[in-house]
A and B are shown apart, each in its own frame.
Chain A
Amino acid sequence: MRAVLSSGRTTGRETAEELARGLGMFSLALGSAQLAAPVAVARLAGVRADGPTVRGVTSLCGVRELVQGAGILSGRGTAGWLWSRVAGDVLDVATLAVGAARRGAAPARLGLSLAALAGVTVADVVAARGLSRRGDDGADECRAVAAVTVNRSRAETYRHWSDLEHLPEFMAHLRSVRVEASGRSHWEAVGPAGSTVRWDAEIVEDREDEVISWRSVGDADVENTGSVRFRDAAGGRGTEVVVELRYRPPGGRAGAVAAKLLGEEPNQQLRDDLRRFKQVLEIGEVVRSEGSPTGQSTRQQLAQRPAQPVA
C-alpha cells in the first residue's frame, strides 16, 4: 500500500525502514553475542580485563540490544526504539571509554570499536529521523496499545473493568483510583523516579459490554486519554480486550526515550497490565513466582531475584 501511495518510488521513509530492519537484526545478533560470551565481546571491543564487572556490564548491554532489536523488528513504535538505540550508542561509547581506562585497553581494537560505534550511531540517527518524520506522531504525545484475550464472557470482563477502583489491582503504575459521586475519578500513579503523579478524569463514553473511554480533566500532572474495548473472540474463546492510552509524558519525548532505556516501555507495560487483568479474572489473583514475587513485570526483568524461595 505504501508503494502505491508513493507512486512506486522509493521514499526516504522506505529507506529508513530498511535501515531500521538492518539495525534491528544487528541488535539481535550483538545482544545474543554479548549475553553468550560477554568476556569475548568485551575483548573484541578492546577491553582487556575479565572479571564480574566487565561481564555484568556487557551482559546488560546484551539484554538492552535484544530488547531494542526485538522492539525495532516488532514494527511497533519503531522510531522510538531507534531513538533508544541512539541513546544506547552514546552510553556504549561512554562505557567502552570507562572500561578501557579502568581495565586497560588494546589500543588498535579500541580505536576500531569506537569507529564502529560512531558509524552505528550515524546509521541510528539517520534511520530514526527518517521514521520520526511522520504526521501522526504528535510532537510530545505517546501512545500505547495492547490486547489480551480473557476466557470469560464480555459481560463479566466489562463489569470488572467498569469498576475503576479495581484497576490498581492489575495496573502496576496505578497507586489508587477513587470514584466520586459525581462520576469523576481521582487517580494517583507512580511517576518518574518514584514520584507521585495525580490527575482527575471523567468518563467520555460508556457503552455496556463494548467500550469505556476516559480523559483527564483540569490541571493534570500527566495529560492523558484512554479507552478499553471489549469484543467476542472468534470460536467462543472469550473476550478480546483492547486498551489504548495516549499521554504526554513528563519530560516530553526525551523523557520517554530515557524511560524506555530504563525498561519502561509503555506497550510492554500495558501488555503486562493486561496479563494481570486476565489472571485476576481467570484465576482470581495475580500469579507470583519467586523470581518476580510482585507478579508480571517485564520492567523489572533486570532486577529479578534468583529463583529461590522468598525468605
Chain B
Amino acid sequence: MRANCWTGKRSVEVREVPDPTILNRRDAIVKITSTAICGSDLHLYNGFIPTMREGDVLGHEFMGEVVEIGPGVDGLSVGDRVVVPFPIACGVCGACERGMTALCENSNPNAGIAEKLLGHSPAALFGYSHMLGGYPGGQAEYARVPFADFGALKVESDLSDEKVLFLSDIFPTGYMGADMAEVGPGDVVAVWGAGPVGQFAIASCFLRGAERVIAIDRIDHRLRLAQETGAETLDFEQVSVPEALAEMTGGRGPDKCIDAVGMEAHHANHALHAYDRAKQAAMLETERPHVLREAVMSCANGGIVSVIGVYGGFTDKFPMGSFMNRYLTMRAGQCHVHRYMPTLLDHVRNGDIDPSFVITHRMPLDDAPKGYRTFLEKADDCEKVVLTP
C-alpha cells in the first residue's frame, strides 16, 4: 500500500510499504477514506519528538471502512464505517475504566522508553514515535487498529467524512481544553493559537456557554476564522498580550487560559524568540514555552490554565511564583478522545457545529509532502489539510 513516511527532519515521503495484518485478537484493519495532518505532526516533522525512525508511517487523524477483523473483536463488522481516536486504548485497564484513555496502561509496548523520559508512560498513539508505541499511523491506504472494539466509533453514512473526521482528534482535543478549564456560563476565556486545535477550543468554549472568548495568534486569516466563530482577537505581534488581556477584562485577566500552541511557540520579540530557539537547538531546554509563561502570568487570580498544546521534555523559567501565589490551577494532557467522541458526535448530528469549517486544503495522499510544507508555513491561508488515499 501507499503510506506517508517520516524520512528525517523536515522530510516526509509517500512510499510503498507492506499492507497491515492482524497482530492481536482485537485488531481490525481499516481501509482509510480520509486522513488529516495535525499540528502534532509538525512537531515530528520539525524533529522535536525523540525516538522517530526513518520509515515510520505518520498520521493519527483518520477514518474509513472496516475490511478485516480479528477473532476477538465484538460489536464491529466488516463494512462498518468508523472514526478512530488517536490514542490507542484497551478499555479494561484502570486508566481506561476511569475514562483516561490517553493514559491506557496496556497499549504501549515501549512503555520502558517513555518511562525514562517522562517518569511513567502514557498510552501509545498512532504514528507518533517509538517511545509512544511504534505503531504505524493513518496517513496511508490502510491501518491496523488495535482494540478496535473499544476504539473505533461507528458512524452512519449520512454524515460526510469531513463532518466526522475530526472526532478522531482536534474536536475532542479542543473540547477537552475547555473541559479541563471548567469553562461555563459567565467565563472570559483566552485561547492562545488559532490553529485547528485552537479553533475547536474556541468553538467548544461557546458550546459550553462561555460569555467571551479571546483568540491570540499572529496569522490574519486564522484570527478572522476565529472571529467568525464569535471570538474577539489579539495579534501578538501588534500588542503586548498580557497588557491587552488585562485591559479587555477590567484588569482582572481572563478567568480561563487555554494553551493551544505548545512547544514551538513564536515570540513577538525576535531577540527573546532567538534566545529560546538557541537553547532549544542546543537541547538546554526542549520547549519554547512563551505561551505557557504568558498564560500563567495573564490568568486571573484563582483561574485555570489548561494546556492542550504539546510539550515534550523540560522547560525553563516557568513562573512558579505567579502560579503559586495566585492560587492558579493547571491541567494538561493528550486528549482522552474516547471519552468525548459520542457526545461530540451528537453535537455534529444536531447541527450545533459543522467541524468542516477548518478545512482549507484537500489533496490526494500522494501530495502529503506538499501538504506538510503548506501547513508548516501556513502558506496559501492554510488552516487544515485533509488527504484522501
Contacts and interface: CB of A to CB of B under 8 A. Distances in A.
A36 B136 contact: no
A296 B111 contact: yes
A292 B57 contact: no
A282 B106 contact: yes
A165 to B, nearest CB: 22
Nearest to B127: A307
B243 interface: no
A4 interface: no
A171 to B, nearest CB: 15
B136 A309 contact: yes
Interface in B1-55: 1, 3, 5, 17-21, 23-26, 47, 50-51, 53-55
B130 A37 contact: no
Nearest to A28: B314
Contacts of B133: 289, 291, 307
Contacts of B124: 289
B92 A291 contact: no
A121 interface: no
A248 interface: no
B220 interface: no
A306 B50 contact: no
Nearest to B97: A151
Contacts of B115: 271
Of B1, B24, B92, most A-chain CB atoms within 10 Å: B24
A283 interface: yes
A308 B56 contact: yes
Contacts of A35: 50, 283
A278 B112 contact: no
B36 to A, nearest CB: 18
A292 B111 CA distance: 11
Interface in A64-78: 66-67, 70
B55 A308 contact: yes
Contacts of A282: 90, 92-93, 106
Interface residues of A, number: 43
A36 B109 CA distance: 24
Given A275-B111, A285-B25, A291-B134, A36 B106 contact: no
Interface string B279-309: 0011110100000000000000000000000
Nearest to B47: A36
Nearest to A276: B109
Contact of A151 (B57, B93, B112, B136): B93
Contact of B117 (A70, A149, A279, A290): A70
B109 A292 contact: yes
A219 B112 CA distance: 34
B148 to A, nearest CB: 13
A301 B113 contact: yes
Interface string A286-311: 01111111011110010011111111
B125 to A, nearest CB: 11
Interface residues of B, number: 54
A290 B136 contact: yes
Nearest to B17: A308
B107 interface: yes
A309 B144 contact: yes
Contacts of A33: 282-283
A272 interface: yes
B14 to A, nearest CB: 13
Contacts of A288: 23-24, 109
A29 interface: yes
Nearest to A67: B116
A268 interface: yes
A95 interface: no
Contacts of B53: 291, 304, 306-307
A292 B134 contact: yes
A291 B132 CA distance: 10
B110 interface: yes
Contacts of A238: 94
Interface string A31-51: 011011100000000000000
A194 interface: no
A223 B148 CA distance: 44
Of A149, A304, A305, most B-chain CB atoms within 10 Å: A304
A284 interface: yes
A237 interface: yes
Contacts of A309: 1, 17-21, 57, 136, 144
A293 B111 contact: no
B110 A307 contact: no
Given A66-B117, A289-B135, A301 B106 contact: no
B122 interface: no
A268 B135 CA distance: 21
A173 to B, nearest CB: 15
Contacts of B253: none
A308 B136 contact: yes
Nearest to A295: B109
A297 B110 CA distance: 6
13 contacts: A278-B93, A285-B25, A287-B107, A289-B109, A290-B134, A290-B144, A291-B130, A306-B57, A307-B133, A307-B134, A308-B5, A309-B18, A309-B136
Given A37-B283, A290-B134, 12 more contacts: A287-B90, A287-B107, A289-B124, A290-B136, A292-B110, A295-B109, A298-B113, A306-B55, A307-B134, A308-B17, A308-B55, A309-B136
Interface of B: 1, 3, 5, 17-21, 23-26, 47, 50-51, 53-57, 72, 90, 92-94, 97, 105-107, 109-113, 115-117, 124, 127, 130, 133-137, 144, 146-147, 281-284, 286, 313
